[in-house]
Structure 1
């Protein structure tokens, strides 16, 4: 992947990240004026409280000094107990189990090709741990088609080993997707030093590989699922290759005991040189046999992939443990790909595939792009031009994942609730009211989202369906169905495996922005008879909404049905133009509220130019918690929303005292799966 390191672009990204790195709903602090040494010191201290995603060199550091905002660290020296940012970076959501429903079309295959996604969510350095004060973010939502996410990045001038930040891991885990950190040993042309490869595979006196143990310890402490190892620094020999194989063996063995995995990138060969094969063959076979899977370099051809799949079978390995690289960084869905070499339509898939840099869907949009524009582009990338996986594109040159790969779901237990929050927004809503007008992003706050976007069944005109950011019930977005309908329209939302009891109810929080619309809940207690067949719904009345009347919640008892809920949706009937907004959906047997956290405290503070930055910590609430929300209590008794996180630590910046205020008061509450909030833990900070 020698084309991936672009110093000029990286410097631009670094500059942008520096401005966004703040508590995700706090305004950026103004630059401190040059002046007294004390002012400079306090400004540096305030900036130093901002936690960032972690990155390291294996052991030895480069010559010279790091650039502005970059911290050089040695992985060999890392210890969890000394990691000041660990509380902000450790993911808290466990990896959910997934199931595969009956495919929504006849072309998507279950049990064959899967998709790996290599994504650069931000720069290596200055990548905020807990979101930032901008809605312009790659808020990935099409988790249903992804089998493995790689937190891509690394550079010779910043660091080579990247641990994914917690919001990404929490969102991925909620949807059942494992996340791998990245070990990037760059080409010599991009600053790579062979010493760093030798550092990585060094042995201790007992013959073990200490950095293999370190990588496993980092992944365990940070809560992610293993490592993508990309050794592209040329100049090695067979002895170095042998050492690398020993390192990978120990990394995989130690990691497997912790539920971790290893993916190897097709780069170094058994000779120790870097020679991208574009295939599984004798030169890289031992590395594939040592790892859990292998990313096949972009140099593949149809014949190379065919022989690779055959060799994998001969090794008693699945051919779908090979990811054929598809580079979409520059051209996205315009990329010319020999799809029949990977996922032919008329026979079994050959191998799996890996998207390199699908965040193109955001990056290709012009300056001033909105969250809605991003999701429209991302839907086209993953679903296809039809924007409906039940009606896959035919002869399109872009073979969207929904047309080939069966989707998956994690909606298997009660209570289940969603507010259709995508993990970023133009403001933050609570109960249908905007409680903050600041832009934000934080993927850890993303809900479990519909996997099939958007399946619409109607005999008449098809309305547009989208995530919309102009209004929401909770979070930053809602589901909007907008159009002139002349026949009943069923919008399929979730494939589920939810147990039914006599007490089970479904709650719909919704409104009609324009036009009157009659709403029915679509509930399926059985599977479709075959791929592509319609879901066998039962329709339950949920009321008629009047345009402009505001939010309302319909509570429907579905305990009269029996068995298991396999599908959920809504059916809409209207006299013409409608704009139906669904703000929340919940399925429960009982109302469950979370216990309160405890011992909220300020662990560090710094003030510069009249503004204060704080680090807050608290003791986690006992029992299940979806996330925590923090507020500042103002002298007039009102609350100011500061942000949310899945962790038990939070950073906030740019705080100023209110008129007559001698101390700032803060509260943190736990939020449960049904979005009920707990009592508060509180603390004060004197001005």
Structure 2
């Protein structure tokens, strides 16, 4: 076991060892303390000796109930898991139906991990969902808690892109404070021989809206009896999980005889656990031969070899890591197993403290797309075999209406209609858009301009797409792979802005797939009117029929440096006015402590993308406070404006086309 794997977990343990969301049928009065909501974590049953450290609350999973969970409304996901499809591959090396990618990510500490984002743009705002098949909300420590439920923003963003999210069960090695009693607590039986904590785990995932559990039992000292109990527990957990549409992943750690012995392979020591679960993370000790034998054993057991995640530790070196890629995803024959990325948030963590969102996305694009930064033309000499080189991207853009403002889920300020409505930095992945899957595929016979998410200006949210460089030949930027039906009323709305240079814009629409992997889709180019500043142009798909398979833009310049921004894109069948969501109800302040407030409300009927909360200043100017998919929100540090006796707040529901409902308001007396 590599010591760097436990960096975050050890830090939390050391600090601690020193001395479906409920509806608000009626909003209670604000007579309770407004405490910040945090992502939930538990011990199976018993606690460590002593008392918890500052900011840590010890909780027992065995005693958890949804009715008694004061933060459930903040932590329950709102977006169902979307269905994905696979377009023609972006390049000739990416495979469909072979290796998949699992990511084990620590988004924050075990304790005091905010439920709904925070007032900073410095966050691991994952955007390359198209290459991922499973996300594990990694964490846990002996001094805080061992069982982690992923917070709602992460689940909502992942689900929007079709990626299931698993909570983490971490039974630590004894070197990191693990106690064998916690393993026994987890697999305890009731008088009927059932495993009550298996039922609790499934109930938590159902209430919180995530997709199952990653089981990592690494506490040594067990025996054959404990191994049998663990196997029985995993079997029952899986049986209960299947009934609720959940899944279970097993980590290659405990063996069938109850000892902890990382195999780096699927073999007789762990195959019973693999058979009891949906898939297994193979520890980093694998070799070319053990992965080959593991893949074959999975097939011999009647399972897919791609249900094995070969562990790739990128916590310390990220895209500079040396990996025997041909042992996992050879380029000249079928893939051997899937890929299990351990701690890809290196793309943020390795950067200096002065890092910006742009710095993070540059490193993240390098990690997921490769050195060329273009999945349509991968650099075959790059020693880092990025996921885009081996794995076909997927998309969930398959129904109307569809819209995106290219919001990555964090930003330096908040924009609405191109104007700044809050100058505070923020992060909240729950308001992240459906993002382009292949970033960035650019087709031109001239110089290739750079394409990236940019945070210096936006139409809505915190970011836009910036294309910058010399446009010395017509340049096509692929934006979305889609499966959108076309009717006589279908239109595309394009919101964009020219920062510099002379740029002619055309909408690119393909009604057929690309003819081969890496080829440019067979676009039809439709003219777009030009103007100054942010503008939204509606383009009817006149003369086109069938299905939109790809949407992009073609930019033609004068051969000089240009800067062009894409701020929004929408596809819908055009009525006179887009559907506007209904107004949410029962809006109120559920708890207040000075300038810290908890808000709650009942859901607006119909399709709602998210809710947005504003404070109305004394002159009537709205100041954006936050957006969320949940029916509760926490705001901290508010102060009275000069001469203000009461603060006014308004809440709106936002629809799929970013139309907003009429507001509902509430006041708070200072």
Q: 2:303 aligns with which of 289, 298, 317?
A: 317
Partners of 1:12 and 1:424 lie apart in 2 by: 29
Which aligned pairs between 1:237-316 and structure 2 lie closer than 5 A? Answer: 237-316=223-302
**Tell me, what secondary structure is at the counterpart of 1:254?**
helix
User: Greater shift after overlay, 229-238 or 48-57?
Assistant: 48-57
- Residue 662 of structure 1 and its aligned partner are, at CA, apart by 2.3
Partners of 1:205 and 1:272 lie apart in 2 by: 23
**Residue number in structure 2 paired with 1:129:** 115
Offset from partner CA, 1:82-137 (integer Å, 9 cap, x none) = 00000000000000000000101100000000000000000000100000000000
**Residue number in structure 2 paired with 1:397:** 383
1:603 counterpart = 2:603: no
**Residue number in structure 1 paired with 2:635:** 652
Q: 1:151 aligns with which of 134, 137, 151?
A: 137
Which aligned pairs between 1:485-500 and structure 2 lie closer than 5 A? Answer: 485-500=471-486
Residues 516 and 544, structure 1, Cα contact 8 Å, conserved in 2: no
Offset from partner CA, 1:323-371 (integer Å, 9 cap, x none) = 0000000001111111000000110000001000000011111111000
Partners of 1:489 and 1:530 lie apart in 2 by: 20
**Tell me, what secondary structure is at the counterpart of 1:171?**
helix
1:542 counterpart = 2:528: yes
Residues 445 and 627, structure 1, Cα contact 8 Å, conserved in 2: yes
**Residue number in structure 1 paired with 2:400:** 414
**Residue number in structure 2 paired with 1:233:** 219
Distance 1:447 1:288, change over 3 A: same
Partners of 2:186 and 2:2 lie apart in 1 by: 20
Distance 1:13 1:618, change over 3 A: farther
Partners of 1:284 and 1:11 lie apart in 2 by: 30
**Residue number in structure 2 paired with 1:623:** 606
- Residue 661 of structure 1 and its aligned partner are, at CA, apart by 2.3
**Tell me, what secondary structure is at the counterpart of 2:77?**
coil
**Residue number in structure 2 paired with 1:210:** 196
**Residue number in structure 2 paired with 1:523:** 509
Q: 1:593 aligns with which of 580, 595, 598?
A: 580
**Tell me, what secondary structure is at the counterpart of 1:592?**
coil
**Residue number in structure 2 paired with 1:106:** 92
Distance 1:452 1:14, change over 3 A: farther
Which aligned pairs between 1:182-201 and structure 2 lie closer than 5 A? Answer: 182-201=168-187
- Residue 8 of structure 1 and its aligned partner are, at CA, apart by 9.2
Partners of 2:13 and 2:667 lie apart in 1 by: 38
Partners of 1:503 and 1:9 lie apart in 2 by: 58
Which aligned pairs between 1:8-19 and structure 2 lie closer than 5 A? Answer: 10=11
Offset from partner CA, 1:666-687 (integer Å, 9 cap, x none) = 1110000100000112112222
- Residue 658 of structure 1 and its aligned partner are, at CA, apart by 2.1
Offset from partner CA, 1:634-664 (integer Å, 9 cap, x none) = 2222222111111000001112222332222
**Tell me, what secondary structure is at the counterpart of 2:175?**
helix
**Tell me, what secondary structure is at the counterpart of 1:246?**
helix
**Residue number in structure 1 paired with 2:557:** 574
Aligned residue pairs total 650
Residues 14 and 123, structure 1, Cα contact 8 Å, conserved in 2: no
Distance 1:8 1:351, change over 3 A: closer
**Residue number in structure 2 paired with 1:179:** 165
Partners of 1:396 and 1:509 lie apart in 2 by: 36
Residues 599 and 682, structure 1, Cα contact 8 Å, conserved in 2: no
Distance 1:14 1:567, change over 3 A: farther
**Residue number in structure 1 paired with 2:344:** 358
**Residue number in structure 2 paired with 1:446:** 432
Offset from partner CA, 1:399-420 (integer Å, 9 cap, x none) = 0111100000000000100001
Offset from partner CA, 1:481-512 (integer Å, 9 cap, x none) = 00111100000011000000000000011010
Partners of 1:92 and 1:10 lie apart in 2 by: 32
Offset from partner CA, 1:297-322 (integer Å, 9 cap, x none) = 00000100000010000111000000
**Residue number in structure 1 paired with 2:209:** 223
Distance 1:436 1:14, change over 3 A: farther
Offset from partner CA, 1:39-77 (integer Å, 9 cap, x none) = xxxxxx86x610000000000011000000000000000
Residues 268 and 275, structure 1, Cα contact 8 Å, conserved in 2: yes
1:679 counterpart = 2:662: yes
Partners of 1:150 and 1:258 lie apart in 2 by: 18
Normalised by the length of structure 2, the TM-score is 0.96
Residues 500 and 559, structure 1, Cα contact 8 Å, conserved in 2: no
Which aligned pairs between 1:629-668 and structure 2 lie closer than 5 A? Answer: 629-668=612-651
**Tell me, what secondary structure is at the counterpart of 1:68?**
coil
- Residue 191 of structure 1 and its aligned partner are, at CA, apart by 0.1
Residues 430 and 474, structure 1, Cα contact 8 Å, conserved in 2: yes
**Residue number in structure 2 paired with 1:40:** none
Partners of 1:370 and 1:12 lie apart in 2 by: 29
Q: 1:335 aligns with which of 321, 332, 347?
A: 321
**Tell me, what secondary structure is at the counterpart of 2:136?**
strand
Offset from partner CA, 1:598-656 (integer Å, 9 cap, x none) = 1101111112xxxx211110010001100000011222222221111110000011122
Residues 13 and 177, structure 2, Cα contact 8 Å, conserved in 1: no
Partners of 2:273 and 2:91 lie apart in 1 by: 37
**Tell me, what secondary structure is at the counterpart of 2:528?**
strand
Residues 421 and 622, structure 2, Cα contact 8 Å, conserved in 1: no
Partners of 1:656 and 1:392 lie apart in 2 by: 52
Partners of 2:456 and 2:382 lie apart in 1 by: 33
Offset from partner CA, 1:15-52 (integer Å, 9 cap, x none) = 9xxxxxxxxxxxxxxxxxxxxxxxxxxxxx86x61000
- Residue 212 of structure 1 and its aligned partner are, at CA, apart by 0.2
- Residue 531 of structure 1 and its aligned partner are, at CA, apart by 1.7
- Residue 12 of structure 1 and its aligned partner are, at CA, apart by 12
**Tell me, what secondary structure is at the counterpart of 2:636?**
strand
Offset from partner CA, 1:531-568 (integer Å, 9 cap, x none) = 222211110001235xxx21111110004200000000
**Tell me, what secondary structure is at the counterpart of 2:554?**
strand
Offset from partner CA, 1:433-457 (integer Å, 9 cap, x none) = 0111100000001000001011000
**Tell me, what secondary structure is at the counterpart of 2:467?**
strand
- Residue 14 of structure 1 and its aligned partner are, at CA, apart by 8.5
